[in-house]
Amino acid sequence: MDRQPYVRSEEKDGIAIIEFFHPAHNSLPGHLLADLRDQIIAEGYKNHINIIFLKSGGDRTFCAGASFNELASIKNQDEGKHFFMGFADVINAIRTCGKIVVGRIQGKTVGGGVGIAAACDYAIATKYASVKLSELAVGIGPFVIGPAVERKIGLSAFSQMALNATEWQTAQWAKSKGLFQEAFDSTEQMDEYIDHFLNILNGSNPAALKELKKVFWHNTDHWDQLLIERAQTSGRLVLSTHARDAINGFLNA
């Protein structure tokens, strides 16, 4: 089994399959986020690609969010902004790539991982895919991913997740709020449906899919600047004593 971190792309009959992996529960350090951003953008430019299918390796956690080791190493606001732009860039890549992005959410997802799932145009999960926005618990807040999550589940449900930062919400809760479009009892059922759904989408009119992508992301052109501002906010807060103590407590637990 491959235990080295990676982001890899594979193309099959008009579908770009992008997979990321990190042995620490698919947490994403900066270089993996940059690779993920670049591969989404690259596949978006290709005329022969109709759909981008985004997944993570392993069978348990979809994405544990950001790398806590990198988070703990931030020394100033510029480093903080750069760090938090990692997830911002991935969300903006999904938003602007011009392709419908389907996400496979096989297990728990936290923080930035919830942001990636929310940015997907269609997220297909299992009942094991509990979700949590843990940022407030480490002295920050889900500022960068907030627009993507709020866009999918609304302000009330986003507020619930943001403030109740230590409690998991179930996959069925996430489906009821619109974060997930499907939530299956098993991985096998999920993957069978994904194959079926991708085949249907891949046979659809590419021009219609492109126009639908524009409709889905209407009124988000300001996100380029908005997510920069949110990254600056997080980059400032992560330097606070409260955040430092919380992050070190997590690392030393």
In a domain, 176, yes or no: yes
In a domain, 159, yes or no: yes
Q: Which residues contact 226 (CB under 8 A, 6 or more apart)?
A: 147
- The amino acid occupying position 81 is K
Nearest in space to 234 (alpha carbons), one of 29, 63, 86: 86
User: Quick count: other Cβ atoms within 10 Å of Cβ 215?
Assistant: 7
- Distance, in Å, from the CA atom of 9 to the CA atom of 34, rounded to the nearest integer, reads 14
User: Quick count: other Cβ atoms within 10 Å of Cβ 180?
Assistant: 27
- The amino acid occupying position 94 is I
Domain count, the chain: 1
pLDDT number for residue 68? 87
In a domain, 252, yes or no: no
In a domain, 240, yes or no: no
Q: Give SS3 for 11.
A: strand
Domain that holds residue 167: 6-202
Helix axes 112-119, 146-163, angle to 10 degrees: 130
- The amino acid occupying position 17 is I
- Kindly give the confidence (pLDDT) of every residue in the chain, 253 residues in length, as a single tens digit, with 9 standing for 90 and above: 458 999 999 999 999 999 999 999 999 999 999 999 999 999 999 999 999 999 999 988 999 999 888 998 999 999 999 999 999 999 999 999 999 999 999 999 999 999 999 999 999 999 999 999 999 999 999 999 999 999 999 999 999 999 999 999 999 999 999 999 999 999 999 999 999 999 999 999 999 999 999 999 999 999 999 999 999 999 999 999 999 988 888 888 7
In a domain, 130, yes or no: yes
pTM here is 0.96
In a domain, 228, yes or no: no
**DSSP class of 240:** S
In a domain, 224, yes or no: no
Nearest in space to 198 (alpha carbons), one of 9, 53, 47: 53
In a domain, 244, yes or no: no
pLDDT number for residue 2? 59
Give ∠ CA 199-204-207 in degrees, rounded to 5: 140
If you compute the radius of gyration of the chain from its CA atoms, what whole number of angstroms results? Answer: 17
7: which strand partners?
20
Q: Give SS3 for 18.
A: strand
**CATH number of the domain within which 168 lies:** 3.90.226.10
